[in-house]
Amino acid sequence: MEQANGRTVSIHVTHGSEYLGPVGPFEVDGAWWSSAGPVVERLSEELGVPVLVLRLAEVAAGGGGSGGHVVYHAEALERPAALVPRQAGAEAAALLGPAERRAGWATQAGLRATLDWAERTLHRVGRPVAGPVEQVRTWNLSGLFRYRTATGVDAWLKVTNPAFNADEGAVIALLGSVDPTLVPRLLGTDPVHGRLLLDHAPGEDCWGPSGEEVAAVVPRLVAAQAALAADGRAAAAGLRDRTPRTLVAQVGALLDRLEREAEGAAEPAGPGASGESLTAEEFAAARALADRLPALVAELAACGLPETLVHGDFHPGNWRSDGTRAVVVDYADSCFGHPALDGLRPRQYVSDERWAQVAAVWAGAWREHAPGSDPERALALVEPLYHLAYAVRYQEFLDHIETSERPYHEGDPVSELRAALACAEAAARA
C-alpha cells in the first residue's frame, strides 16, 4: 500500500478523554514520518473537524524516518459526528497510554497549552491570529506550526524539549545583537517549556544552494561567530559545551556506555540504549581513536580559530532566502564549540563543486576575522570530531525521547562512530 513518494497511515483519534477509535489505513503524500501536514489534511477531511497529530505511535517498514506504514495518535479539536466514543482495546490502550519522556507537545493537554500560549502571545504583540493553526511537522525533537495573523504576515510556532535542546530564543537574540539580519525576528519565547514564536522569513529553504546563497549566508555567520568569540559573550552564554577538549571526555563516556550495553545485550535494554552495537574490532579501533583525540585537539587549537557559538546543524536546509535577504534558522542544536563543526556541516548536502565553494568562502571569511589562522587545516582536521560530536548528540536524543519515537534515531550513535572510524582510517592511509 505504500506509495513511492508517500506512506500509509493509520490514526488513533481522541477528543479530550474520549477514545474515538482508529481511522485508516490510507495513503498520504510525503514520505517523512514527521510531516504532519498531509496527515492532518486527510484526517480533517475524513472527520469534518480540525485535528492535530500528537505523536508517532508505531511504525512498520520504511526507514530513515520515512516510508512504510505509520500509526499516529491524533487529537480532534472538536468532536466529529462520524465517530462515537468507545473503549480502547488493549493494543490501542498500550499505544496511547502514558510513557516516560513523552514530549510536552505530544500530549493532549500539552498541545492545547502550547497553542493557547502562542495565541495569547501573538495577541499581546499585535499579531492576533486570523485562522486555524496549521500543523507542519511533529516528531520526537520538535513541533512546528504556522499561524495566519491579522496583519497579513504569518508567524511560526516551534516547540522543543528544553531538557536537551538549546534555548533558541536566547541564541537568536545573541546572534541578532551582532547581525539582526542573520536571524528571524523573535516574537515570543518561553524557554521553560521550549516554546518559540518567530516572524515569517520570506523565501525558500536553500536545499541545493546557489553560489549567491552561499556567499550571502556563510560569511555572515562567520562574522557573527568571530564577534561573539572576541567579546566573550559566546563563552558566557551558558550553551551546551561541545568544545574539543570536553568532547574527548564525552566520547570516552559514550564508548564506556556502549560497551556495557554490548556486554549486557542478552538482558533487556534500558531507556536510551542504542539498539545497535559496534563489533569488538570496531570498539578496539574506537578506543584507539579516542586515545589519539588529545593530540588531534591540540593540532586543531594550533589552527588559531576561536571557540564560539556553534549553530550545530548548519546545513543549507536551515538557510532561508528570498533572493534579497537570507536568514539562518533552527538553533536547537546550538552549543559552544569549534566553528569548523559548522564549516563542515554543509558538505553532505551539496555537490562537490558547491562544497568547494562553501569551503573556500568559509575559510576566506575566517582568515579575514582571525588573521594568521589556518581554517583549511582546521576543516581537514575536524572531521573525526564532527562525527564524534554527532554520536554524542544522537545519544542525547535517545536518552530523552520515549520508546515509540526511537525509530527516528535508533543506531545513529553507532553510525556516527563508524563514520568517525572511516574518516580516521582514510586520513591514516593518506
> Could you give phi then psi for residue 320, rounded to 5 degrees?
-135, 130
**Within 10 Å of residue 364's Cβ, how many Cβ atoms?**
14
What per-residue confidence (pLDDT) applies to 395?
95
Residue 63 pLDDT level (bands cut at 50, 70, 90): confident
How many angstroms separate the CA atoms of 344 and 267, rounded?
39
**Within 10 Å of residue 429's Cβ, how many Cβ atoms?**
6
CA atoms within 13 A on the CB side of 219: 13
Q: At what angle do helices 244-263 and 280-302 cross, to 10 degrees?
A: 180
Residue 240 pLDDT level (bands cut at 50, 70, 90): very high
First-residue to last-residue Cα distance in the chain: 48
What per-residue confidence (pLDDT) applies to 372?
97
**Can you give the residue ranges of every domain in the chain?**
6-97, 106-199, 204-429
Q: H-type helices in 210-346, by residue range? A: 211-230, 244-263, 280-302, 340-344
User: Is residue 270's pLDDT more than 80?
Assistant: no
- Cell numbers at residue 386, please? 564532527
* Coil, helix or strand at residue 19: strand
CATH 3.40.50.300 fits 204-429, yes or no: no
Residue 65 pLDDT level (bands cut at 50, 70, 90): confident
Residue 268 pLDDT level (bands cut at 50, 70, 90): very low
pLDDT average, residue stretch 157-168: 96
User: Is residue 106's pLDDT more than 70?
Assistant: yes
- Cell numbers at residue 150, please? 491579522
Place of cell 479539536: 77
Stated pTM of the model:
0.92
What per-residue confidence (pLDDT) applies to 1?
34
- Right CATH number for 106-199 from 2.40.128.20, 3.30.200.20, 3.30.470.20, 3.40.980.10? 3.30.200.20
What per-residue confidence (pLDDT) applies to 430?
72
6-97: which CATH topology? Nucleoside Triphosphate Pyrophosphohydrolase (3.90.79)
What per-residue confidence (pLDDT) applies to 156?
98
pLDDT average, residue stretch 374-403: 95
* Coil, helix or strand at residue 393: helix
User: Is residue 426's pLDDT more than 90?
Assistant: no
Q: What is the mean pLDDT of the chain?
A: 93
- Cell numbers at residue 131, please? 485562522
User: Which amino acid is it at 28?
Assistant: V
Residue range 169-225, pLDDT digits in tens: 999 999 999 999 999 999 999 999 999 999 999 999 999 999 999 999 999 999 999
Torsion sign, CA atoms 70, 319, 111, 152: negative
User: Is residue 2's pLDDT more than 50?
Assistant: no
How many angstroms separate the CA atoms of 369 and 352, rounded?
26
pLDDT average, residue stretch 289-308: 97
CB 207 within 8 A of CB 349: yes
How many angstroms separate the CA atoms of 203 and 176, rounded?
19
